[in-house]
């Protein structure tokens, strides 16, 4: 395929990386990046890069990755609630300042022969190019002006991306209760005297604190100083005398972008212009740079542009859809985070790690045995067996082989009793019953249990929509006694049922049972350990007697 000129719209990580890889692959092609901003005036703080992303960047372009890692900061992670703390080692996770990342990528793009143009707004129709790569972000003007079948879903919670002038000792997840409601931070160090400090809260808390007014009064190119000052006081226990700092910092609601088409004619979307994934799974930069790798590979393998762009889309859609599914579940988990603050911090960390179905309990226990041991002891009232080490576990998804599921089986075998030592037995009409259950598995027979069956349907999104989840919770909350959640046998449907079950467990007095296929018993065990359901029923399995 003959490409004489390529124009890249957007000088963010995805656009710069795509430009460099294109120029390296096609030295005779003119590659120009058009960025409406100017260098050294970027906004944002730190950017995280997980181990798997680092490996993919190493395969595509080791030279640029070496310079990225040389300017990065590694850290582990802690969750802190009410003076108690639990943590885990994630030393393979690194963070780099966004400005430093862009400086590295600009330098490598120019070294490869890419031309960088700054300070002027360009549109795809303005450019004389054989290919236009639109990497112009979540607010993409290219996407808005073209027929890409875009859908944008806005989350219900509010977040504010700030920073502080100290390197925190760890990445930190910490909620703080205030007179207005709960605020929670995700914070992590990315340089010697810098940390990202992201804060989330609900719509009700945001309004109660008066941030609807401060948001409306903050110009687009300024920071919400009212919010920064207030939150500096809220999170003072974690800041060690430092204050929050802003960089065009204002309250926002997350927008999930999905496009039916990623290319039209000679124009192709890349990164946030084509798709977004919630920041709680740290995937915006990752997805954009991996898009760039796939796009350049497809251009090198096809005989014409249309075939190449179709191949790029075909190659990337499954991975992006999977990340968006995980991210959507993670977003909803964080937006309902305050409902879980009754949990001990170790149990809360287990619930966090398993929130999107991406990290199985047994795998988490292999890396953080003390945390999982404490969490399961709190949950069951007795100590679990020590986890055996796993010989090999994939980085993402539920591993199907080479995994020790002993903890999952132990969870399923625990009893559910109507009272704990020192408490009076519950009344005979309590949904748990006067005797309780000898295991967490009940026979696949809702009538025998006297349960009301609720079919939790799914919509077009694998993760289901917030509206669909809340509708199922509303219907379940109208049931008195025992609720039996059923639905599809696929894993996505089961994870959605567990999400509905958790909200029912926390918002109603019903006993909740989640039914699912026996082959997904490990997912059901994870749901039990994370306090998402009271009991489970296995289809295609005799289960355990009460």
Q: Which of residues 332, 362, 383 is at a domain's end? A: 332
If residue 149 lies in a helix (H) or strand (E), which one and from where to where? none
> According to the model, what pLDDT value does residue 104 have?
97
Q: Are residues 315 and 430 in the same domain?
A: no
For 195-211, the DSSP string reads EEEEEEE-HHHHHHTTH
> According to the model, what pLDDT value does residue 235 have?
97
Q: Are residues 17 and 104 in the same domain?
A: yes
Question: How many domains does the chain fold into?
Answer: 3
> According to the model, what pLDDT value does residue 404 have?
56
> According to the model, what pLDDT value does residue 545 have?
43
> According to the model, what pLDDT value does residue 38 have?
85
> According to the model, what pLDDT value does residue 435 have?
78
For 197-252, the DSSP string reads EEEEE-HHHHHHTTHHHHHHHS-TTS--HHHHHHHHHHTHHHHTT--EE-SS--EE
Q: Are residues 456 and 533 in the same domain?
A: yes
Q: Are residues 173 and 210 in the same domain?
A: yes
Within a domain: residue 392? no
Within a domain: residue 206? yes
Instruction: Compute the distance between CA of residue 495 and CA of residue 356 in angstroms, rounded to an integer.
Output: 8
484, 504 Cβ separation under 8 angstroms: no
Token digits for 452?
A: 């009301």
Instruction: Provide the domain limits for residue 178.
Output: 158-252
Q: Are residues 520 and 432 in the same domain?
A: yes
Token digits for 249?
A: 């910092």
Instruction: Compute the distance between CA of residue 99 and CA of residue 414 in angstroms, rounded to an integer.
Output: 51
Instruction: Compute the distance between CA of residue 183 and CA of residue 230 in angstroms, rounded to an integer.
Output: 11
> According to the model, what pLDDT value does residue 482 have?
95
Within a domain: residue 381? no
Q: Are residues 162 and 268 in the same domain?
A: no
Name the H helices within 244-302.
284-301
Q: Are residues 56 and 172 in the same domain?
A: no
Within a domain: residue 355? no
Q: What share of the chain is helix, strand, coil (3-state, %, to 5)?
A: 40, 20, 40
Within a domain: residue 413? yes
Q: Are residues 187 and 242 in the same domain?
A: yes
Q: Are residues 413 and 534 in the same domain?
A: yes
Within a domain: residue 385? no
- Summarised one tens digit per residue, pLDDT across range 310-335 is 999 999 999 999 999 999 999 999 99
Q: How many CB atoms lie within 10 A of CB 4?
A: 12
Q: Are residues 35 and 116 in the same domain?
A: yes
Q: Are residues 281 and 172 in the same domain?
A: no
Within a domain: residue 361? no
Within a domain: residue 353? no
Q: Are residues 125 and 180 in the same domain?
A: no
> According to the model, what pLDDT value does residue 252 have?
96
Residues in the chain, pLDDT under 70: 41-42, 91, 387-404, 419-429, 458-463, 541-546
The model's pTM: 0.90
> According to the model, what pLDDT value does residue 90 have?
72
Q: Which of residues 332, 355, 371 is at a domain's end? A: 332
Q: Which of residues 231, 252, 273 is at a domain's end? A: 252
């Amino acid at each position: 395929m003959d490409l004489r000129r390529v124009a890249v719209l957007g000088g963010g990580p995805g656009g710069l990386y795509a430009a460099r890889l294109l120029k390296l692959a096609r030295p005779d092609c003119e590659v120009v990046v058009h960025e409406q901003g100017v260098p050294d005036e970027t906004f944002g703080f730190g950017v995280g890069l997980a181990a798997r992303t680092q490996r993919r960047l190493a395969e595509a372009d080791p030279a640029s990755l070496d310079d990225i890692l040389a300017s990065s900061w590694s850290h582990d992670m802690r969750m802190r609630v009410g003076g108690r703390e639990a943590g885990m080692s994630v030393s393979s996770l690194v963070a780099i300042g966004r400005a430093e990342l862009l400086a590295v990528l600009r330098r490598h793009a120019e070294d490869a022969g890419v031309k960088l143009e700054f300070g002027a707004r360009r549109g795809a129709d303005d450019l004389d190019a054989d290919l236009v790569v639109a990497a112009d972000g979540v607010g993409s003007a290219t996407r808005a002006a073209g027929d890409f079948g875009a859908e944008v879903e806005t989350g219900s919670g509010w977040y504010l991306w700030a920073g502080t002038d100290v390197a925190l000792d760890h990445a930190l997840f910490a909620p703080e209760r205030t007179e207005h409601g709960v605020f929670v931070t995700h914070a992590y160090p990315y340089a010697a005297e810098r940390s990202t400090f992201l804060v989330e809260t609900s719509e009700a808390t945001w309004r109660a604190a008066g941030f609807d007014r401060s948001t409306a009064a903050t110009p687009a190119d300024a920071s919400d100083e009212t919010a920064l000052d207030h939150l500096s006081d809220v999170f003072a226990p974690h800041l060690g005398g430092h204050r929050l700092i802003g960089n065009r910092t204002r309250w926002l609601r997350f927008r999930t972008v999905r496009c039916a088409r990623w290319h039209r004619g000679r124009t192709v979307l890349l990164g946030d212009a084509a798709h977004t994934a919630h920041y709680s799974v740290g995937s915006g930069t990752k997805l954009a740079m991996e898009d760039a790798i796939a796009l350049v590979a497809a251009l090198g393998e096809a005989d014409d542009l249309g075939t190449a762009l179709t191949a790029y889309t075909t190659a990337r859609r499954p991975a992006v859809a999977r990340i968006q599914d995980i991210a959507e579940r993670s977003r909803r988990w964080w937006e309902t985070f305050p409902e879980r603050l009754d949990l001990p911090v170790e149990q809360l960390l287990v619930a966090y790690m398993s929130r999107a179905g991406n990290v199985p309990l047994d795998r988490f226990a292999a890396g953080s045995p003390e945390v999982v041991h404490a969490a399961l002891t709190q949950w069951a009232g007795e100590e679990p067996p020590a986890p055996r080490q796993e010989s090999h576990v994939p980085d993402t998804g539920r591993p199907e082989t080479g995994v020790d599921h002993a903890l999952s089986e132990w969870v399923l075998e625990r009893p559910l009793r109507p009272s704990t030592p020192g408490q009076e037995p519950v009344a005979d009409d309590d949904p748990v019953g006067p005797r309780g259950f000898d295991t967490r598995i009940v026979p696949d027979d809702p009538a025998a249990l006297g349960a009301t069956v609720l079919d939790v349907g799914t919509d077009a999104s694998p993760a289901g929509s917030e509206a669909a989840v809340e509708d199922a919770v509303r219907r379940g909350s109208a049931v008195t006694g025992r609720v039996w959640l059923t639905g599809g046998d696929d894993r996505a449907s089961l994870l959605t049922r567990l999400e509905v079950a958790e909200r029912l467990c926390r918002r109603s007095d019903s006993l909740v049972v989640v039914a699912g296929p026996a082959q997904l018993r490990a997912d059901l065990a994870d749901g039990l350990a994370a306090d998402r359901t009271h009991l489970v029923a296995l289809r295609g399995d005799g289960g355990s007697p009460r």
